[in-house]
A and B are shown apart, each in its own frame.
Chain A
Amino acid sequence: MGENKSLNGGLWSRFAEFKRLSGKDKRRMVSDLIFNNAMFIIIAVAIVFIAVRVPEFLSLSSIVNIVSLTAARLPIALGVGGAIVLSGTDISAGRVVGLTACIAASLLQVTNYPKKMFPDLPTMPLIVVLLAVLAVGAVIGLINGFFVAKFKLHPFIVTLSTQLIVFGSVLMYLMIGNNNGQTLSGLDPSYTDFVRGTLFRIGGVAVPRYVLYSAILTVIMWFVWNKTTFGKNMFAVGSNEEAANVSGVNVFRTIVLVFVLAGVMYAITGFIEGGRIASCSANTGLNYEGDAIAACVIGGVSFVGGTGKIGGIVTGVFLLQLIFVGLNFLSVSANMLYIIKGLIILTACAIDMRKYLARK
């Protein structure tokens, strides 16, 4: 009750403050409000438009589907978010997801599957495979972080290199054993059940287990970003590397750890993705980094560095999936979706740039 009162009081005082402004200042404030939130306004208008044209878009099964897709893409965005907070980026993310998904799938095929990649290998325990893919993700993150931190190379060029190396490795990996470059399928039910088994049902619609895993990861990442020294150091380095260094922050260790953490998040995404789609190929994870970067920028993680919230990333991923699912409901061609995605990223970045200019 008291909270409501203070909220109303806050709104009233803001309104009174707005009324006191001159006409020019009022116009500037309104234009700031519109332009800084333009992406949210566009998405809100799009949702209303899609819901009016196709009412099933807001049905329970559709909402559960959107939440599930959000959960599947959230860990990769949480990882990329850290790299963007350092005023960098990570374009190897999607390929790391692909590699880890393929590794997990190859180690978790049923023993009697005719095209099993490793015919003599028994189905391995889930935890062993999970730890193995986490290690792969962490090593790739370590390589990224080392070159960014030690040689002061731009993360774009470092992660472009690792993206190509990882893609080549996926293609080579898929040629091993009996596989001969084929799609990996015939996964053990324990793996697929662990990932996409029913967590609970809402109105008869099953919510998959990976929604819970994503929620747990989000809580962990929120804690790491907001409540640990490492998280505070990450924001300090992203905001101003030299100032952080002068203040006693170990910049090298912070940058390396951010990339290692990102690699681990991509590995988790890969593990989930492998079990979710149950058929992994070299194309698994293709362009996932683009969606993750777009979601982060929409959610307010700025390329200026040192700015971003976990809640913003969750909102960004959710809104982006909402738009993609909505456009599918409208039967928009997959080719056009690429153009729309590109324009969304460009617009989100331009809005981010405007916020920086307005502050400057």
Chain B
Amino acid sequence: MENKDNKTAKSGGLYEKINMTVKTADIIITVLILALVVTVIIALNM
């Protein structure tokens, strides 16, 4: 029965094993966006 429940639980695909809070994800996204902005600024000044 337990196995069946595990099998039919909604899959998380690539993110299935992520153990993280939404707040941490927000920080990561903010850092990535800042990196993107900085890269574009560098590219514009090259």
Contacts and interface: CB of A to CB of B under 8 A. Distances in A.
A347 B15 contact: no
Interface residues of B, number: 27
Interface in A263-314: 302-306
Contacts of A240: 8-11
A299 B28 CA distance: 20
Contact of B36 (A42, A304, A356): A42
Contacts of B36: 42, 340, 343-344, 347
A338 to B, nearest CB: 11
The CB with the most chain A CB atoms within 10 A, among B9, B13, B20, is that of: B13
Name the prevailing secondary structure of the A interface residues: helix
Contacts of A193: none
A357 B14 CA distance: 12
Nearest to A346: B32
A336 B39 contact: yes
Contacts of A241: 11
Contacts of A330: 43-44
A303 B18 CA distance: 13
Contact of A357 (B11, B21, B35, B40): B21
B29 A347 contact: yes
A236 to B, nearest CB: 11
B32 A347 contact: yes
A354 interface: yes
Contacts of A340: 36, 39-40, 43
Contacts of A351: 29
A250 interface: no
B12 A360 contact: yes
B4 to A, nearest CB: 9
Nearest to A344: B36
Interface in B1-46: 7-15, 18, 20-22, 25-26, 28-29, 32-33, 35-36, 39-40, 42-44, 46
B44 to A, nearest CB: 6
Interface string A344-356: 1011001111101
B43 to A, nearest CB: 4
Contacts of B11: 87, 239-241, 304-306
B8 A246 contact: yes
Nearest to A85: B13
A32 to B, nearest CB: 8
A124 interface: no
A132 to B, nearest CB: 35
A353 B18 contact: yes
Contact of B7 (A242, A304, A336, A360): A242
B29 A336 contact: no
B35 A305 contact: no
A226 interface: no
A164 to B, nearest CB: 22
Interface of B: 7-15, 18, 20-22, 25-26, 28-29, 32-33, 35-36, 39-40, 42-44, 46
Rank and list the top 3 A-B pairs by shortest CB-CB distance, nearest first: A87-B13, A336-B43, A354-B25
22 contacts: A31-B26, A38-B29, A42-B36, A238-B13, A239-B10, A243-B7, A243-B8, A302-B13, A305-B11, A305-B13, A327-B40, A327-B43, A330-B44, A336-B39, A340-B36, A343-B39, A347-B33, A347-B36, A350-B32, A354-B25, A357-B21, A357-B25
